[in-house]
Amino acid sequence: MPSPSSPEPPLPPELLQDVAATFGLLSASVRLHLLWLLSQAEHDVGTLAEATGQSVATVSHHLGKLKLAGLVRARRSGKHQIHYVDDPHVAHLVQLAIEHHRGAPAQRRRAHGA
Give the CATH number for residue 70: 1.10.10.10
* pLDDT at position 1: 54
Higher pLDDT, 3 or 6: 6
String of b and e for 52-89 (b: at least 16 CB within 10 Å)? Answer: bebeeeebeebbeebeebebbbbeeeeeeebbebbbee
91 occurs within a structural domain:
yes
104 occurs within a structural domain:
yes
Q: How many domains does the chain have?
A: 1
46 occurs within a structural domain:
yes
Contact 23, 29 (CB under 8 A): no
* pLDDT at position 105: 76
Contact 49, 20 (CB under 8 A): no
The predicted model gives 48-64 an average pLDDT of: 98
59 occurs within a structural domain:
yes
8 occurs within a structural domain:
no
Which of the residue ranges 6-10, 49-53, 98-102, 109-113 would you say has the lowest mean pLDDT?
109-113
1 occurs within a structural domain:
no
- Banded pLDDT at 7 (limits 50, 70, 90): confident
pLDDT at residue 109 above 60? no
pLDDT at residue 113 above 80? no
Domain that residue 57 falls in: 17-113
